[in-house]
């Protein structure tokens, strides 16, 4: 098995770029510290017509890591080297950050990301922040009150900087990190010793957003909660600051980390669907360092389709297949494309989006399989989307379709425009129903049939 795995990894399809192509990734946004050189981004930026664009993401968490003055000052030294300037004062500190922010923008960065326990929104002043900076630079720790005020000053000024360049700011909130002291001494920080925290969210978050909104300096913002108790809190908080300047300007971000699983994803989707405007949702953002984790996007799409399909089946939304497909398509790709405004690689540049084009291309290739199957009486579906066989045969001439048979040998599935639109079976077997989904389906079928069919094409 190890030899087989090594042989696969040696193939071009399983290189980093090969995996990105297989998953049809149009753009990757890496996580980068302000002190990072971005030399690799510069090299990637020189590629002509890349399949996947690679952009940096501004992640200034180290600027707020003041609990360890020695470590913080070591980071300041790295920042000085990257910015090519001396950082000895509060003003010089911001000049260096501004220089790096501009350099990130030049390399295609259009988003920041912050991993915080909670939002810091205490009252602060420039004079007090400058005093706290001097104390930290001298290696002295801050008392809790001044430390909170200093972090609040940093966070607000960083947000203003993002707004000035038209970036999207993201906040991943609620992780309680490095909980096991013994293992941290052995393994170091950020070694998996983290869990869900129960920090206060509502008041500081509202205060932070209100200050920025009141001064017309609130950037497009995505809020990610780690504690599931905060789903409805975040979903309603974003509604306070939508101003109509950008569709869905504030977003309740997709489930992440411990919630990045079926129950957690569905809870976030339900909260947003109930409390907000689901049609503007920018969907799944893969917060991962693994190139094999992109499959979670397909997992997410299936859950979105299940949500829409189940609501339609229950009569909660109109059973309009075209409208539901368009909504799922937008949530899965196009909303994020338009919201972030990132430069896309070739995999995302067609008028439909490269991903949709890829599906349609595959459907053209399998269209003949449907023609052949519908012409064979032994394989002909008894029903197709609730219509008769004659109407079903007309359907094959209207759009590219594909036909799949399950392992049991009886159940047939027809696919039209990337949608599972119908199911049938040989005469004499029990009829199975397939509900319309975009890149996903909730098939009411036997366990025997379920084992045999996965007729989905990847986007």
Question: What confidence tens digit (pLDDT) does each residue in 26-72 have?
Answer: 899 999 999 999 999 999 988 887 888 999 999 999 999 999 999 99
Longest dimension (CA), the chain: 85
Whether residue 399 is contained in a domain is answered as yes
Give dist(CA 102, CA 161) in Å, integer. 10
Q: What pLDDT sits at residue 284?
A: 92
Confidence of residue 9 (pLDDT cuts 50, 70, 90): confident
Average pLDDT over residues 360-366: 36
Number of domains composing the chain: 1
pLDDT-based confidence at residue 288 (cuts at 50, 70, 90): low
Cβ pair 223, 171 in contact under 8 A: yes
- What's the average model confidence in pLDDT over 391-416? 39
Q: Which of 56, 50, 110, 45 is closest to 354 using CA atoms?
A: 50
Give the residue from 336, 337, 394, 329 showing the smallest Cα distance to 360.
Answer: 329
**CA separation, residue 26 to residues 53, 107, 299, 337, 344 (Å):** 6, 17, 18, 9, 5
Instruction: For residue 139, give the DSSP letter.
Output: T
Provide the strand spans (E) within 378-454: 401-405, 411-416, 419-425
Short-list 62, 44, 75, CA closest to 116: 62
Average pLDDT over residues 5-23: 86
- Is 35 domain-assigned? no
In a domain, 190, yes or no: no
Exposure letters 368-378 (e unless 16+ CB within 10 A, then b): eebeebbeeee
pLDDT by residue (tens digit) across 312-358? 999 999 999 899 999 999 999 999 999 998 888 877 765 344 444 44
Beta pairing partners, 405: 412
Residue 404 within any structural domain of the chain: yes
Q: Is residue 445 part of a domain?
A: yes
pLDDT top residue among 152 and 374: 152
Q: Is residue 221 part of a domain?
A: no
Dist CA 111 CA 378 (whole Å)? 56
pLDDT at 218 over 60: yes
- The reported pLDDT for the residue numbered 95 is 98
Q: Which tokens is 354 given?
A: 């490269």
The boundaries of the domain holding residue 385 are: 357-450
Mean pLDDT over the full length of the chain: 80
What's the pTM? 0.76
In a domain, 144, yes or no: no
Classify residue 423: in a domain, yes or no.
Answer: yes
- Strand pairing class (168-173; 111-116): parallel
Q: Is the pLDDT of residue 238 over 90?
A: yes
**pLDDT tens per residue, range 167-212:** 999 999 999 999 999 999 999 887 889 999 999 999 999 999 999 9
* DSSP run (H or E) holding 222: strand 220-225
């Amino acid at each position: 098995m190890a030899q087989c795995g090594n042989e696969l990894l040696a193939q071009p399809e399983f290189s980093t770029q090969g995996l990105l192509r297989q998953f049809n990734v149009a753009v990757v946004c890496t996580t980068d510290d302000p002190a990072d050189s971005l030399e690799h981004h510069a090299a990637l930026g020189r590629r002509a017509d890349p399949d996947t664009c690679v952009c940096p993401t501004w992640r200034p968490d180290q600027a707020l890591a003041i609990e360890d003055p020695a470590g913080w000052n070591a980071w300041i030294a790295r920042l000085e080297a990257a910015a090519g300037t001396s950082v000895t004062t509060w003003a010089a500190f911001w000049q260096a950050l501004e220089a790096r922010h501009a350099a990130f923008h030049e390399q295609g960065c259009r988003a920041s990301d912050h991993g915080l326990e909670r939002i810091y929104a205490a009252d602060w002043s420039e004079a007090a922040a400058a005093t706290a900076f001097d104390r930290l630079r001298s290696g002295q720790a801050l008392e809790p009150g001044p430390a909170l005020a200093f972090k609040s000053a940093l966070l607000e000024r960083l947000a203003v900087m993002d707004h000035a360049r038209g970036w999207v700011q993201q906040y991943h909130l609620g992780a309680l990190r490095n909980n096991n002291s013994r293992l941290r001494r052995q393994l170091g920080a950020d070694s998996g010793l983290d869990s869900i925290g129960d920090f206060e969210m509502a008041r500081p978050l509202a205060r932070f957003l209100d200050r920025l909104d009141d001064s017309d300096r609130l950037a497009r913002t995505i809020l990610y909660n780690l504690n599931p108790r905060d789903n409805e809190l975040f979903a309603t908080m974003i509604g306070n600051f939508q101003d109509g300047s950008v569709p869905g300007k504030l977003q309740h971000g997709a489930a992440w980390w411990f919630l990045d699983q079926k129950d957690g994803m569905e809870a976030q989707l339900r909260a947003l669907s109930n409390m907000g405007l689901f049609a503007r949702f920018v969907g799944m953002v893969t917060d991962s360092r693994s190139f094999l984790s992109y499959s979670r996007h397909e997992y997410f799409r299936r859950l979105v389709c299940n949500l829409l399909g189940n609501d339609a089946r229950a009569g909660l939304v109109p059973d309009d297949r075209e409208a539901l497909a368009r909504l799922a398509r937008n949530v899965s790709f196009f909303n994020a494309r338009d919201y972030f405004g990132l430069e896309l690689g070739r995999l995302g540049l067609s008028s439909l989006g490269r991903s949709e084009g890829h599906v349609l291309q595959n459907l053209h290739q399998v269209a003949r399989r449907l023609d052949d199957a519908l012409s064979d009486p032994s394989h002909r579906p008894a029903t197709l989307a609730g219509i008769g066989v004659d109407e079903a045969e007309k359907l094959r001439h209207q759009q590219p379709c594909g036909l799949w048979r399950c392992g049991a040998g009886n159940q047939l599935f027809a696919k039209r425009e990337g949608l599972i639109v119908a199911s049938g079976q040989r005469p004499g077997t029990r009829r199975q129903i397939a509900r319309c989904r975009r890149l996903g389906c909730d098939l009411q079928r036997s366990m025997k049939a379920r084992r045999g069919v996965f007729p989905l094409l990847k986007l």
